[in-house]
Amino acid sequence: MAASPPAFNGPIVVMGVSGCGKSSIGERLAAHLGLPYVEGDSLHPPANIAKMSAGIPLDDDDRWPWLAMIGKRLAEADEAGIVISCSALKRIYRDRLRQAAGHPLAFVYLKGSRDILLQRMTARPGHFFKASLLDSQLATLESPEDERLVVTVDIAPSPEVITAAALEGLAALNGVEP
């Protein structure tokens, strides 16, 4: 059996709206690739978590300091890379992260229907992000599917299938100009 091609060599942001599986798929990708994993939600300032816990959507002013922290982690990563989860809902946010990284940055966009996302969100008790905020995230989302170094993966299958599809897509990015 032929060896699979190596995955993208550099930092990776696993992105999408809440409930798409950023954390679980990010952890799986990092483990498979032998890279460190950072849960982007852990970098939110306490005020952001308080707002989301109260069911109040974040605005750009809330997100900029958080994105700066994620960008700092991307910039500090060594050449082998890092995997970070981050919603990265708008192109301007992704461009900010690309600039902060200082080298080619890949995004794994976890895409799913509102029904699947809502079902997953309501099945995770205790998470600070309220399911009532899903529609605001979907309204804010600017699809990255036409951007460079983006792998889009459907979230309907099992985590194993999602991870395999992400790895295949990342391998296909080798040699793609940023």
Asked whether the predicted pLDDT for residue 3 surpasses 60, the reply is no
Q: Write down the pLDDT at residue 59.
A: 86
Averaged pLDDT, 150-159? 96
Specify the residue for token string 């890949």: 106
> pLDDT by residue (tens digit) across 20-66?
999 999 999 999 999 999 999 889 889 888 887 787 878 889 989 99
Question: Looking at this protein, which amino acid is placed at residue 115?
Answer: D
Q: Write down the pLDDT at residue 102.
A: 87
Output the six-digit token pair for 24.
């679980």
3-state SS assignment for residue 140: helix
3-state SS assignment for residue 106: strand
How far apart (Å, rounded) are the C-alpha atoms in residues 27 and 36? 9
Mean model confidence pLDDT for the chain: 87
Q: Write down the pLDDT at residue 1.
A: 39
Averaged pLDDT, 67-81? 89
Lowest mean pLDDT among 11-20, 77-86, 168-177: 168-177
> pLDDT by residue (tens digit) across 133-144?
788 889 999 999
Strands 37-38 and 12-15: unpaired
Which residue pairs, CB below 8 angstroms and at least 24 apart, start in 39-42? Answer: 39/85, 40/66, 40/70, 40/84, 40/85, 40/86, 40/87, 41/85, 41/128, 41/129
